[in-house]
Structures are given as structure tokens and as C-alpha cells.
Amino acid sequence: MSWMFLRDLLSGVNKYSTGIGRIWLAVMFIFRLLVYMVAAEHVWKDEQREFECNTRQPGCENVCFDYFFPISQVRLWALQLIMVSTPSLLVVLHVAYREGREKTHRKKLYVSLGTMDGGLWYTYLISLIVKTGFEIGFLVLFYKLYHGFRVPYLMKCDLKPCPNTVDCFISKPTEKTIFILFLVITSCLCIVLNFIELSFLVLKCFIKCCLQKYSKKLKSSVC
Amino acid sequence: MDWGTLHTFIGGVNKHSTSIGKVWITVIFIFRVMILVVAAQEVWGDEQDDFVCNTLQPGCKNVCYDHFFPVSHIRLWALQLIFVSTPALLVAMHVAYYRHETARKFRRGEKRNEFKDVEDIKKQKVRIEGSLWWTYTSSIFFRIIFEASFMYVFYFLYNGYHLPWVLKCGIEPCPNLVDCFISRPTEKTVFTIFMISASVICMLLNVAELCYLLLKVCFRRSKRAQMQRNHPNHALKESKQNEMNELISDSGQNAITGFPS
């Protein structure tokens, strides 16, 4: 089980997505998953070993590291990627449910399994809303946990057993800040894409309903 | 999720590229991605562990390392390769959109004389003409911009492409100007120069491809203009014959479908 599993799952979603959904998938795969795996993971590799406090007091470094990083940024990033990818699976499950229904009734119940009409349209909409919710939620969590998106080079720590206020130095703060900003920008881009897709779907449905009402009115006036 | 996935994405674009484009994809994956993965990552693996400063002051090494290497070479190369490869996706998306539209027209009964079935549409090689030509040219243009930008960022961040064996650092909390020693500076310089050279070669290939596409379009246009000048009646007859053929095929389809278009 690794990121390949998530990649294979998401590739299946591609068939049932709109055009904007496919752009979202491409951004997810290339600018988030791939960048995480080939670059970001390695930046945080030695974060605790290279975290150094200006004291020889045993335990002080451990306590300070745990206080400043309750959960490592890179692990939060990984959780975000997983949580944001999984609502798309709702769509795959719904299509599988449709397939199951057609097999049980042994007749064609839908125009095609992947056509976005009826229940599948609602499932897709819900998955978009949940995805956007997770994205925004994680960004807010990141901001609150680390007091912004910048990683400082120095932090002052006076927790027990540190004898006084000691200076603690974080490794590679600039590189970490660059990658966190990259994460925030791609996250915002995905949020924007989700909003555009949401508006597009709602607008399309609204126009379709209006046209149907208009054609019904026309038919009833002719009759 | 690794470079293999990127290779799958970009490999799909290979079918619709020019010959120079195919050479470019090969150079990217063999001389850059593979070298990055099998060699460069090993060389830079212990970069911070073996970065040593001549002081016992805690925090001095961290601060000096962060000052001299705001972003590691390896990460910058990885980002460069990702950014340089992604414009090719514009072409892939355009081809996918073109095929989707063609399949939609086929299902409506419009292009039945050109294709036997929907699978035929998917297998057809799309020619670099019309709007695809613009997409392809823009993708090459963006590639060149990204390559040049990353090379400049590299030069700017590390003051050149050569890594010194000693750096002087006097940033707080270092007590005074201390000597800091980089691990394996010569090997890193060799790989840096190799990656920069591969980058330059890729840029030259992109420029050559751009010139080739522009020349092809100019040549095609001048040939058409010449044909019109030499055989104006012939050109007019040909275009009229084409119009007639379209009208006949349209009316034939209307007869089959039973209502006017």
C-alpha cells in the first residue's frame, strides 16, 4: 500500500469526471502528489535529528520539538492529499451501484452508466463540496497550528526540563517555507477549480431546467 | 507516485509530437530524470549531515546551511523537470478534447465517411494543424521559458554553477566568522554542470522545434499562395468541387436521417 494505490484509485475517477474535473486530477497528480513524493518528503526527512537547541539539558530538545511540531507539516500534507482525494470515490461507488442495479434488473436502466444525470449529479456535487471543505479545513488547520505558513529559523523554548529560555534552531527553514507556500498555492488552485466546476454544473442544470420548462410551455400553447 | 507516472503522462503526448519533440522527451527522461534518480540523489543524500562548521555553537550549522542552500539542488531540479514536462499536458488535453468532439459529431452522424467507428477516432494520429498547432507552439514556448527561468534561479541562488569546498559564515548564533565545509563539492559540481548542459540541450531542441514549426507553416502558406497564383481557375474549381461534395454528402445524410439539418 503506497501512493500508487491512491493513484490507481483516482485514475478510475477520470472516466466519470467533467473536463474541469480532469484538470483538477492532473493538478492533484502532478503538482501535489508527485511534488510531495519526489521533493517535499525528503526535505522533512531529518527534521528531528537536525533540530538543535542551545542547551545540553537532556530532554529539552525532545520537549521543544514536540511543542512546536505536534504533527509534522509533511504528515499533515499527506493527510490532506488523502482526505481531498477520497470524495471522488463516491462517484465511482455510485457508478458501481448503477452497474449492480442494471445487472439485477437485467435491463438498461440508464442512458449510460457514467452520464451525469439524476442521482449521480447529486453525488458528484456532494463530492465537490466535501473536497472543497477538506481543502479549506486543512489550510485553516495548518495556519492555526503553525501560526502562519512561514517556518522561522529560530524558536525560543522555556518548557520543563529546559533550564531557561533556550534558542532552538530548525533545519532547512527556507526550503520548508518554499514547499509549504507551494502546497498552499496548489491547494488554493484546487479550491478555485472546484468552485468553477460547481458553478458550471449548477448553471448547466439550471439552463437545462429553464429550457425544458420553456419547451413545455411552447408545446402546451401550441396544443 | 513517482517519475514513472510522469513518464506515462508525457509518453502519451509522444504520438502527436514532431521528431524533435520525441528526441526531447527521450533526453528529458534518460539524461535528466534517470540521472537525477540514480545518481544525483545519492550524491546529495548526506548534504546536511556532512555539512560541517568549525564551531561547537549549537544552531550555527543549521543557520549557515539554510543561508547557503535555501533550496537544495536536487529539489530545484525535480521542480524544474516537473514544470518543464507539464506544458506537454496542454497538447494532451487538446487532443483529448478534439477526439471527444469528433466522437460526439460521429455519434450525431456527421463524420461517418471519415471514420468506421469510435475506436478508429481514438487510434487516429492527430496532425499538428490549426488550433493544435497554436497549442503545441505555446507549450514549446512555455517549456523554453521554464527552462531559462530555472537556470537563472539556479545561477542567482548559488552564485554560479560551481560549488566551493569552504564557505565563510558569520550569521547569528555563530560567534564569529566560521568556516563551513560542504560535503563532496567536486562531485556535486560535476553533476550540476551535467544537469545544466542537459538543460541547455533541451532548450536548444525546443528552439529548433519552434523554428521547424514556424518554417513549416510559412512554407505551407507560400506553397498555397503560389498554387493560387499559378492555377487560379484550378484552385477555384477545386474549392467549388469540395463545396459540391459537402452539399451532396449533407443532403445524402438528411435523406437517411429524415429531417433537415
**How far does the CA of residue A26 sit from the closest CA of chain B (Å)?**
9
Cβ–Cβ gap B6/A34 under 8 Å: yes
Q: What is the pLDDT of residue B257?
A: 36
A192 pLDDT exceeds 90?
yes
Confidence of residue B258 (pLDDT cuts 50, 70, 90): very low
| Chain B residues with beta carbon closer than 8 angstroms to that of A37 | 1-2
Give the H or E element holding residue A119. Answer: helix A119-146
Nearest to B96 by CA among A30, A14, A13, A202: A14
In chain A, residues 43-72 whose CB comes closer than 8 Å to chain B: 43, 46, 50, 52-55
Which of A29, A31, A38, A182 to probe the B interface (max B CBs under 10 A)?
A38
CB A38 within 8 A of CB B78: yes
Q: What is the model's pLDDT at position B206? A: 93
Mean pLDDT of chain A: 87
Cβ of A171 and B66 within 8 Å? yes
pLDDT, residue B222, reads 85
Measured between alpha carbons, how far is B62 from A173 in angstroms, rounded to an integer?
A: 9
Nearest to B75 among A37, A39, A52 (CB): A39
HEC string for chain B: CCHHHHHHHHHHHHCCCCHHHHHHHHHHHHHHHHHHHHHHHHHCCCCCCCCEECCCCCCHHHHHHHHHCCCCHHHHHHHHHHHHHCHHHHHHHHHHHHHHHHHHHHHHCCCCCCCCCHHHHHHCCCCCCCHHHHHHHHHHHHHHHHHHHHHHHHHHHHCCCCCCCEEEECCCCCCCCEEEECCCHHHHHHHHHHHHHHHHHHHHHHHHHHHHHHHHHHHHHHHHHHHHHHCHHHHHHHHHHHHHHHHHHHHHHHHHHCCCC
- Mean pLDDT is lowest, of A59-63, A175-179, B20-24, B249-253, for B249-253
Q: Which three cell numbers stand for residue B148?
A: 531559462
Q: How far is B70 from chain A (nearest CA, A)?
A: 5
What pLDDT shows up at residue B117?
66
pLDDT, tens digit (0-9, with 9 covering 90-100), for A17-63: 888 888 898 888 889 988 998 888 889 988 888 898 999 888 899 89
With a pLDDT cut of 90, the percent of chain B lying above it is 30
In degrees and rounded to multiples of 5, residue B130 shows phi and psi of: 65, -135
Determine the distance in angstroms separating the CA of B242 from the nearest CA of chain A, rounded to an integer: 34
From the list B74, B185, B196, B193, the residue with the least C-alpha distance to A39 is B74
Question: B163-189, pLDDT tens digit by residue?
Answer: 888 899 999 889 999 999 988 888 889
- Mean pLDDT across chain B: 81
When pLDDT is cut at 50, 70 and 90, the band that residue B243 belongs to is: low
Query: B59 is written with which cell numbers?
Result: 544552531
**Identity of the residue in B1, B74, B86 whose CB atom sits nearest the CB atom of A33:** B1
Say if residue B255's pLDDT is above 70. no
Do the Cβ atoms of A53 and B58 come within 8 Å? yes
Least confident of A100-114, B41-55, B105-119, B197-211: B105-119
pLDDT of A101-140, one tens digit each?
Answer: 888 877 777 766 667 777 888 898 999 999 999 999 999 9
Distance from CA of B73 to the nearest CA of A (A): 11
Q: Is the pLDDT of residue B254 over 50?
A: no
Q: Tell if the CB–CB gap between B78 and A167 is shorter than 8 Å.
A: no
Nearest CA in chain B to A176: B71
The ipTM value here is 0.76
Inspect the interface and report whether the beta carbons of A169 and B74 lie closer than 8 Å: no
Judged by a CB distance cut-off of 8 A, whether residue A172 touches chain B is yes
- The average pLDDT across B75-94 equals 88
CA neighbor of A193 nearest in space, from A113, B48, A185, A165: A185
Say if A4 is an interface residue toward chain B (CB within 8 Å). Answer: yes
Residue B239, pLDDT above cutoff 60: no
The alpha-carbon gap from B60 to the nearest alpha carbon of chain A, in Å, equals 9
Query: What tens digit of pLDDT does each residue of B129-167 get?
Result: 788 888 999 999 999 999 999 999 999 999 888 888 889
CA A3 to chain centre: 14
pLDDT of residue A198: 92
CA–CA min distance B69, chain A (Å)? 8
Which helix (H) or strand (E) covers residue A155, if one does?
A: strand A154-157
Whether chain B has a CB inside 8 Å of the CB on A11: the answer is no
- Least confident span in A55-69, B22-36, B119-133, B170-184: B119-133
Picking from A6, A54, A170, the nearest residue to B58 by CB comes out as A54
Model pTM score: 0.80
Assess whether pLDDT exceeds 70 at residue B88. yes
Residue B253 binned pLDDT confidence (cut-offs 50, 70, 90): very low
Chain B partners within 8 Å of A179 (Cβ): 75
Residue A90 in 3-state DSSP? helix
